[in-house]
Structure 1
Amino acid sequence: MTGTSPTQGIKTVLHPVSDLDKAKAVYSALLGVEPQVDGPYYVGFEAAGQHIGLLPGGGPQGLTSPVAYWHVDDIETKLGELTAAGATVKDPANDVGGGRLVATVLDADGNLLGLVQDS
């Protein structure tokens, strides 16, 4: 498909967890690093160029399974391309802090896809 804006790949994966302390121990062991962000509502790890986030109770998004976030240069353009191709916007682009924009869409099979644009 020509004329579409490319992605930078999957760089962020968020995981809903029921016990943040237990999950933090497991992911620390898996990744071999301690979390860079360690709060009661979010724990985030940076490893091998990827960001792995833990969301207690699925976070405000209500996640029930892990979600991969594709990093893009222009989130609004990518949302337009995805909806033109048949995806449905679940959560429109919103600023989650520091100029980072996040959105989610559902593909034709109902799979949740995340998008991230960093300023």
Structure 2
Amino acid sequence: MLRGMATSTFYADDLEAAKDWYTEFLGLEPYFHVPGGYYEFRIGDYLHEFGIINRAFAPARATKGPGGAIVNWHVDDLQATFDRLLALGATEYDPITAHSEGFVTASVVDPFGNVLGLMTNPHYLEVLAKTGPA
């Protein structure tokens, strides 16, 4: 039923500031833009969509601030990525935590109130080795 992540969506009151912050962190410009409403980046081995939406367009029941599910993005160097996010103004949400052989997670809250999950995941690397990047 679930075929793959289509778009990870974050909301921001200050859309331009969020776009600038993620451009700095990701090291690339968004590839798509709807003026006043949306920026989208293509990131990672499979060019997943990472969207930032003006909070004015959030669902009516969406709460402002951290909460709910966390999407964990695989990173090769979790400590370095975590440290970089903190240096850019994110705050720790969940510390670096080893769960089992090779599975390590951490998460931060970006300056706009969204939780960004990070993970070292051997299963991700196994699938990447079999399929190759996009």
| Range class of TM-score, shorter chain | 0.3 to 0.5
Q: Given the two structures, how large is their TM-score scaled by the length of structure 2? A: 0.41
Structure (1 or 2) with the greater helix fraction: 2
Structure (1 or 2) with the greater strand fraction: 1
